[in-house]
Chain A
């Protein structure tokens, strides 16, 4: 008997492996894939960097793997000054050190973020992997500006695990990397079950605040603008956001309010819409920037959905007006570099 035959015989003993029940939801995966596709197209490869869902895309892959809810110590109180800046000596690597020092002071909110990552290696099929939370200085400024505006005392934002620490990286990581992403924040302080049918993959199915940064430049060639205002049934015509919301309520029956829009200098438009559905209330705000490189956007989606068996939120702290004001902050940008 050859070595190969011996090996096959060895592996035959693995046949008949008992398997736990699993019902993969193809429709859900389809919806997530659709949403990620839009985000990824606009991820920047800047001397190679960015952030996104597959990366997660935007981060939507929110899998709570910790059994300990929230950070070890409470969030800071009081207003935090806007605009944390990154260290110029930020590491240019994704290697995760044995322990990542936590943020301090104003950057504390970033510890509550969850970003997944997608690694694209030149000339190969994309492989979805998960790397340490990483963000560029520009991305960090945008996130902090939003957090400081919508929840300056961090009364609503809670992390998923104290072991997930954000880390800022320099924007010159090399052309092989595409990091695009968004961040999800739990607003209830509850940690979802690791493999909740919804939350393990889709993201928050309970109260949430999610920030997606969709950079202007598209390495693959943009095929559809983010702001498709002719899209019926989507908040402010933004199909990107609509698909995400639809995932959460399963049946998008609620009627969005009329889109409230304001124009900003530099071909920037800020819009928001809200709606009430049987599960709760949801709000979407978008800062859409039209540049010669294409459309870029920062999208905030907030929900106060309540699923069966979960504690109901007392109120939705994130109004459309508040989110729109946050998007008008000077540090907010869809650029992931600089």
Chain B
């Protein structure tokens, strides 16, 4: 089995880490956990390097590995991942116009992990039903039904009074 070349591997990390982190953040809502997920994905990549390279499916592999890990993490909150409660998330640049985005992120976090993954891949990554199905290991029919249920759930959350500002826009 061929081991990755260090320069090649680090180039892959540099080129894809940030986009994967954004994807992970949408799944977990925490930048630190998103970074952990992404780092683990790259460690998986190292181990499967030859197979991934051989099939020329690097990006598909990274997205698949990340999304499955994120879904698993969402389903199995472990001690290691216990939230800090009142401790604020990592510092991000101020963004005065972010209320809408924050509301949507908060609502998205309340959608079941599997449905959330479908929504993120379909509507954030803009992938097709078939591509989404391949990444999550689901049938196309399941992706469609999960997307529909996920959207219903998301809109249900956004319909709550706490999210009234979001609806006004």
Residues of chain A whose beta carbon lies under 8 Å from any beta carbon of chain B: 3-4, 7-8, 10-11, 13-14, 16-20, 22, 24, 26-27, 29-30, 32-34, 36-37, 40, 54, 61, 63, 65, 67, 96, 116, 119, 124-133, 161, 163-165, 194-195, 200-201, 223
A200 adjacent to B36 (CB under 8 Å): yes
| Nearest CB on B from A257, distance (A) | 28
Given A7-B119, A129-B69, A131-B76: A18 touches B35 (CB 8 Å cut-off): no
B73 adjacent to A3 (CB under 8 Å): no
B81 adjacent to A130 (CB under 8 Å): yes
Residue-wise, chain B 48-84 has the 8 Å CB interface mask toward A (1 for contact) of 1000000000000100110011001100101111101
A18 adjacent to B98 (CB under 8 Å): yes
**Size bracket, chain B contacts:** 35 or more
A132 adjacent to B78 (CB under 8 Å): yes
Q: Within 8 Å of chain A (Cβ to Cβ): is B31?
A: yes
With A and B bound together, what is the CA distance between A21 and B40 in angstroms? 19
Given A14-B105, A125-B61: A7 touches B123 (CB 8 Å cut-off): yes
B82 adjacent to A163 (CB under 8 Å): yes
B25 adjacent to A17 (CB under 8 Å): yes
B124 adjacent to A11 (CB under 8 Å): yes
Q: Within 8 Å of chain A (Cβ to Cβ): is B111?
A: no
Other A-B pairs, 16, CB within 8 Å; known A11-B119, A19-B93, A128-B69:
A7-B151, A10-B123, A20-B31, A20-B91, A24-B39, A26-B9, A26-B17, A30-B6, A30-B10, A32-B43, A54-B43, A119-B72, A125-B61, A128-B40, A195-B32, A201-B39
A13 adjacent to B100 (CB under 8 Å): yes
B65 adjacent to A63 (CB under 8 Å): no
B122 adjacent to A7 (CB under 8 Å): yes
| Nearest CB on A from B164, distance (A) | 16
Q: Within 8 Å of chain A (Cβ to Cβ): is B38?
A: yes
Closest to B64 in A: A125
What are 7 A-to-B residue pairs whose CB atoms are below 8 Å?
A7-B119, A17-B22, A17-B25, A32-B46, A33-B46, A128-B41, A130-B78
Residue-wise, chain B 77-119 has the 8 Å CB interface mask toward A (1 for contact) of 0111110100100111111001011001100000000000001
With A and B bound together, what is the CA distance between A119 and B44 in angstroms? 12
Q: Within 8 Å of chain A (Cβ to Cβ): is B137?
A: yes
B13 adjacent to A10 (CB under 8 Å): no
Q: Which A residues lie within 8 Å of B168 (CB)? A: none
With A and B bound together, what is the CA distance between A131 and B61 in angstroms? 22
B31 adjacent to A63 (CB under 8 Å): no
Closest to A133 in B: B79
Given A125-B44, A130-B78: A14 touches B39 (CB 8 Å cut-off): no
Binding site secondary structure of chain A: loop
With A and B bound together, what is the CA distance between A127 and B40 in angstroms? 9
| Nearest CB on A from B45, distance (A) | 8
Within 8 A of A (CB), among B132-151: 137, 147-148, 151
| Nearest CB on B from A179, distance (A) | 14
Which 6 A-B pairs have CB atoms at the shortest separation, nearest pair first?
A33-B46, A26-B10, A26-B13, A11-B123, A24-B17, A128-B40
CB < 8 Å neighbour of B46 from A34, A67, A119: A34
Best-surrounded residue of A8, A16, A17, A194 (most CB of chain B within 10 A): A17
B46 adjacent to A14 (CB under 8 Å): no
Best-surrounded residue of A7, A126, A161 (most CB of chain B within 10 A): A7
With A and B bound together, what is the CA distance between A119 and B122 in angstroms? 26
With A and B bound together, what is the CA distance between A20 and B45 in angstroms? 24
Q: Which A residues lie within 8 Å of B160 (CB)? A: none
Best-surrounded residue of B47, B87, B92 (most CB of chain A within 10 A): B47
A36 adjacent to B39 (CB under 8 Å): no
Given A132-B79, A163-B82: A126 touches B48 (CB 8 Å cut-off): yes
A19 adjacent to B31 (CB under 8 Å): yes
CB < 8 Å neighbour of B69 from A7, A8, A96, A127: A127
Given A14-B26, A17-B25, A96-B79: A63 touches B47 (CB 8 Å cut-off): no
With A and B bound together, what is the CA distance between A223 and B124 in angstroms? 41
Q: Which B residues lie within 8 Å of A132 (CB)? A: 78-79
Q: Which B residues lie within 8 Å of A133 (CB)? A: 79
A27 adjacent to B10 (CB under 8 Å): yes
A33 adjacent to B36 (CB under 8 Å): no
Best-surrounded residue of B73, B84, B124 (most CB of chain A within 10 A): B124
A33 adjacent to B43 (CB under 8 Å): yes
| Nearest CB on A from B169, distance (A) | 9
A129 adjacent to B31 (CB under 8 Å): no
CB < 8 Å neighbour of A10 from B31, B72, B73, B104: B104
